[in-house]
């Protein structure tokens, strides 16, 4: 099962400056997010007050997604499923994938928050030179080869 490293944030509001906690986690191909031991991601040791928080998921070459509303995290753990609807994300910035589910938009190789020709040109450049056996931002499936399977 392919897993991608993601950063999960909790925010008091929609502003990035309101981030109160972050935790590294693994995003599995089935859409579940777990810690590096394969268990449910818990923020219980990072938040002292129960309440409602926005959940943000960031990945190195995808546009970040944030919950459409603040989620009540009491009791912990609370579950939030981004995959069921584009409306589950703030700004409706997810893409439809197979089976009526939704996922993160990939392809932001230069990590500027926009997917455009600059990103495609980075990918195309790495594809042309045959980049392999290296950690490349344009290697979207993490097989250490930049090829047509990545786009």
Note the pLDDT tens digit of each residue in 36-69: 788 777 676 666 667 889 999 998 888 899 999 9
Point out which residues pair with 22 in neighbouring strands: 9
**What pLDDT digit, counting tens, does each position of 70-88 carry?**
998 776 667 788 989 999 9
Residue 62's pLDDT is: 86
pTM to 2 decimal places: 0.80
Point out which residues pair with 10 in neighbouring strands: 21, 55
Reduced to 3 states, what is the DSSP secondary structure of residue 83? helix
Q: What are the backbone dihedrals phi and psi of residue 105, each rounded to the nearest 5 degrees, phi first? A: -80, 125
Of 24, 66, 34, 72, the closest CA to residue 52 belongs to 72
């Amino acid at each position: 099962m392919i897993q991608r490293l993601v950063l999960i944030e909790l925010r008091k509001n929609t502003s990035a400056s309101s981030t109160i906690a972050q935790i590294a986690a693994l995003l599995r191909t089935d859409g579940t997010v777990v810690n590096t031991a394969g268990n449910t991601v818990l923020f219980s040791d990072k938040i002292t007050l129960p309440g409602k928080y926005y959940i943000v998921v960031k990945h190195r070459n995808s546009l970040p997604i944030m919950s459409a509303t603040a989620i009540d995290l009491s009791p912990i753990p609370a579950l939030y499923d981004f995959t069921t609807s584009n409306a589950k994300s703030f700004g409706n910035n997810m893409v439809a994938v197979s089976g009526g589910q939704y996922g993160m938009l990939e392809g932001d190789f230069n990590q500027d928050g926009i997917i455009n020709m600059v990103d495609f040109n980075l990918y195309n450049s790495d594809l042309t030179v045959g980049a392999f056996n290296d950690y490349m931002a344009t290697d979207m499936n993490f097989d250490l080869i930049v090829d047509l399977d990545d786009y």
